[in-house]
Amino acid sequence: MMLRSVIASGKRGFALIEIMVAITIVGLALPALLVRVAGIGENVIFMEERTMAYWVAENKMQELIIDQQLSGGVSSLRKDQGTLDYDSRKWFWAYELTERDVDKRLIPPNAKMYSAEVTVGLEQDKPMATLTGFLTDAN
């Protein structure tokens, strides 16, 4: 009697096949969503490390510029490397100064132009950031 009243009133529930299709769609979409969210998390960590590496490289470049300004010339040390503790991590840095040929009209007489390349990374042989600048030994 009750079954007839439900059918007669026009109320119907979901069929078993509709429920199974909905569960399948959710079952396929949820793992893909979780993989995507995990990938975003990894990218955030990578970008944070990369940003820190550029900050360390910029700080090292500023040290070279300040040293050049205070000493009145470019350091005689053309290549150096070391470690630095920053943001609770150990960063490996290295720099190399290379003399460059430039038009002598662009710099003072008897001055030399150098390119300074600073590399920084969490591992010594895998730099995450490279920064290049120019120095001159002119006063």
Select from 139, 138, 133 the least CA-distant residue to 64: 133
Span 97-116, pLDDT tens digits: 998 888 888 888 888 888 99
Span 52-109, pLDDT tens digits: 999 999 999 999 989 888 887 777 778 999 999 988 899 999 999 998 888 888 888 8
Q: Record the tokens describing residue 104, joined without a space.
A: 């002598």
Distance between CA atoms of residues 6 and 97, nearest Å: 87
Break the chain down into helix, strand, coil percent, rounded to 5: 45, 30, 25
Domains of the chain by range and CATH?
A: 14-136 (3.30.1300.30)
Span 11-51, pLDDT tens digits: 667 788 888 998 999 898 888 888 888 888 888 889 999 99
Give the other-Cβ count within 10 Å of 48's Cβ.
Answer: 11
Prediction pTM value? 0.69
